[in-house]
């Protein structure tokens, strides 16, 4: 393994980020709208009210448009692991590939099969079987998300594997450890929660537009009732799952937690910055204050990260330079161990090539105790473990602020629902909140992915050695081709959606 040229790595990273950000414009709506549609159809089957059938079919059509276009970006993103990140795929493919294979074989095929029955099966199968198909599409969509997030969670917290120097690959030793990793479970719950909120915002926003236009009033109010009820429940769930996610980050990715809070010097009883502006001139090790302005909540960071108001929370400087009093090892020590791991692996490969069994065993004995620091051996300085603080900090705080706003919005919509058409400002707020859900979700992914830089796999592989050794110009060209393709797909979806919405709940049936 060797460090790739900076230009190649940056373009490879940019291309994958572009694909992921576009893909995550489609996925959350699929996750949330699938369950909302299933709930609406359940009400129809229970009440036998034809209005509910019409309502269900309207939202199901919008779900189908989003589902079809979202599949394209997801497939491209999976292929990029082989085309742009072949070193990564070789190093951990035995582990990372397993959940993705299960997602394709089990969840995606289940989702796709019953999607056909759900969308085309009206009046062709029984009401009960059609309803079952709708629920199975929702379950399948979320199972797909589970296995994908298991794979991503493993990148954040690699467990359940051992390194085989003979093949220079990590191999899975415990599937359950990988699948039920606390980081993966927390990531799954928080991510699907954000999708549910986006689905709810979409339904209440479009319903609000109909009410503002005086169209399909009964159906719009019923849709809003389901969307706002579902949204309030899942937005509260999102807050709880976010707390668990932050706890897992504190336990396994403390550098990310410190970046999320712009936290440089560790302390006991640490506060959370509720609102703040970072000092752009702040550097590791200087005496400048990290914030130009802040409103803080005392003890909240210790509670969030360790469930103890007096717990010591390490700052970026503790994690980079070490804190002997708190038993925190510095990055320089880890880099030294990482270089020993890299050296031992090279010695093992050389001994294997020469057929020296004794030297192989000696190198293996050197490698095993320091393999957990392997990725540090490719870093140039202790400061390299710090991610972009400003991007991580502001993304985290935007996500949290919007999360609390959504709780208030859904609660107000339910409170005013009986006479909701009278509250024009609230309806406009609901309509213009649709893009805010996407902003919050994308900000969450920025925190998750930018916040763990420089790692492709936490502590084991920095991004600089994960990329494929290809010409940077090829990646650059494909980046712009994908940018154009994804933008065209997004514009197409929006235009088709708007045309369908403009027809109204009865217009398409």
Q: DSSP labels for 262-330?
A: T--S-EESPPEEEEEEE-TT--TTSSS-SEEEEEEETTHHHHHHHS-TT-EE--HHHHHH-BGGGTBPP
CA 135, chain centre distance (Å)? 24
Residue 34 pLDDT > 60: yes
**Cβ contact 176:95 at 8 Å:** no
Instruction: Give me the mean pLDDT over the 321-333 stretch.
Output: 92
402: tokens are 């919007």
Indicate if the pLDDT at residue 508 is higher than 70.
Answer: no
Mean pLDDT for 420-432 is 93
250 vs 98, which has greater pLDDT?
Answer: 250
pLDDT bucket at 3, cuts 50 / 70 / 90: low
Q: Which residues have a Cβ under 8 Å from the Cβ of 124 and sit 6 or more positions away?
A: none
All residues at 6 or more sequence positions from 467 whose CB lies less than 8 Å from its CB, including other chains = 4, 8, 9, 12, 13, 84, 85, 87, 88
Tell whether omega for the bond before 454 is within 30 degrees of 0, i.e. cis: yes
**Window from 80-89, 453-462, 472-481 with minimum mean pLDDT:** 80-89
pLDDT score recorded for residue 9: 82
pLDDT at 382 (0 to 100): 93
Q: How many CA atoms lie within 13 A of 61 on its CB side?
A: 20
- Please state, in angstroms and rounded to a whole number, the distance separating the CA atoms of residues 128 and 52: 15
Q: What is the pLDDT of residue 509?
A: 53
Name beta bridge partners: 277: 293
pLDDT band for position 143 (cuts 50, 70, 90)? confident
H-type alpha helices, 157-262:
175-179, 182-213, 217-252, 254-260
Average pLDDT score over residue span 319-329: 91
Short-list 438, 435, 497, CA closest to 68: 497
Of 137-141, 234-238, 385-389, the least confident: 137-141
Within the chain, what is the greatest distance between any pair of CA atoms? Answer: 84
pLDDT higher than 90, residue 47: yes
The pLDDT score that the predictor gives to residue 67 is 82
What pLDDT does 114 receive? 84
**Cα 408 from Cα 304, distance rounded (Å):** 22
Show the tokens assigned to 251.
């336990």
Between CA 482 and CA 19 the distance in angstroms is: 8
278: tokens are 């970072």
Among 486, 507, 508, 465, smallest CA distance to 3 is for 465
Residues 347 and 326: their CA atoms lie apart, in Å, by 35
pLDDT of residue 2: 52
Averaged confidence pLDDT in the chain = 89
Rounded CA-CA distance 372/261 in Å is 27
Distance of alpha carbon 158 from the chain centroid: 16
Per DSSP bridges, beta strands 291-297 and 312-313 are unpaired
What's the rounded Cα separation, in Å, for the pair 133 and 129? 6
Q: What proportion of the chain, given as a percentage, has pLDDT over 90?
A: 51
């Amino acid at each position: 393994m060797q460090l790739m040229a900076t230009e190649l790595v940056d373009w490879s990273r940019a291309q994958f980020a572009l694909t992921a950000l576009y893909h995550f414009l489609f996925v959350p709506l699929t996750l949330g709208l699938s369950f909302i549609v299933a709930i609406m159809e359940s009400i129809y089957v229970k009440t036998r009210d034809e209005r509910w059938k019409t309502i269900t079919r309207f939202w199901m059509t919008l779900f189908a448009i989003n589902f079809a276009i979202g599949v394209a970006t997801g497939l491209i993103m999976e292929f990029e692991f082989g085309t742009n990140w072949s070193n990564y795929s070789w190093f951990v493919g035995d582990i990372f590939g397993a959940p993705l294979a299960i997602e394709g074989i089990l969840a995606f095929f289940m989702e796709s099969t019953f999607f056909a029955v759900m969308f085309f099966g009206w009046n062709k199968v029984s009401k009960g079987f059609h309803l079952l198909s709708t629920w199975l599409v929702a379950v399948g969509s979320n199972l797909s998300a589970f296995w994908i997030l298991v794979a991503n969670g493993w990148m954040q917290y690699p467990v359940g594997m051992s390194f085989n120097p003979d093949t220079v690959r990590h191999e899975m030793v415990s599937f359950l450890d990988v699948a039920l990793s606390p980081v993966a479970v927390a990531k799954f719950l928080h991510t699907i929660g954000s999708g549910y909120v986006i689905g709810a915002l979409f339904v209440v926003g479009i319903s609000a537009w109909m009410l503002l236009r005086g169209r399909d009033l009964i159906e719009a109010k019923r849709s809003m009732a389901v969307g706002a009820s579902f949204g309030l429940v899942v937005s509260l769930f999102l807050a709880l799952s976010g707390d668990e996610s932050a706890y897992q980050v504190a336990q396994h990715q403390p550098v990310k937690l410190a970046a999320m809070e712009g936290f440089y010097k560790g302390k006991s009883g640490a506060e959370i910055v509720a609102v703040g502006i970072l000092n752009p001139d702040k550097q590791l090790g200087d005496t400048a204050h990290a914030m130009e302005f802040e409103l803080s909540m005392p003890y909240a960071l210790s509670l969030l990260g360790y469930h103890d108001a007096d717990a010591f929370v390490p700052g970026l400087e503790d994690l980079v330079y070490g804190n002997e009093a708190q038993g925190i090892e510095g990055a320089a020590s880890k880099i030294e161990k990482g270089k020993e791991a890299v050296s031992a692996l090279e010695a093992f490969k050389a001994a294997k090539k020469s057929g020296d069994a004794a030297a192989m065993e000696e190198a293996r004995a050197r490698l095993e105790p320091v393999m957990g620091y392997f990725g540090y051996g490719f870093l140039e300085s202790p400061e390299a473990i710090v991610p972009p603080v400003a991007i991580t900090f502001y993304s985290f705080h935007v996500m949290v602020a919007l999360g609390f706003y959504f709780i208030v919005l859904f609660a107000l919509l339910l409170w005013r629902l009986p006479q909701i058409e009278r509250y024009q400002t609230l309806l406009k707020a609901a309509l213009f909140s649709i893009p805010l859900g996407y902003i919050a979700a994308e900000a969450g992914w920025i925190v998750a992915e930018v916040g763990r830089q420089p790692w492709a796999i936490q502590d084991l592989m920095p991004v600089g050695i994960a990329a494929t050794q290809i010409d940077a110009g090829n990646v650059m060209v494909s980046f712009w081709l994908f940018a154009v393709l994804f933008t065209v797909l997004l514009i197409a979806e929006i235009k088709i959606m708007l045309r369908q919405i403009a027809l109204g709940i009865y217009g398409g049936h």
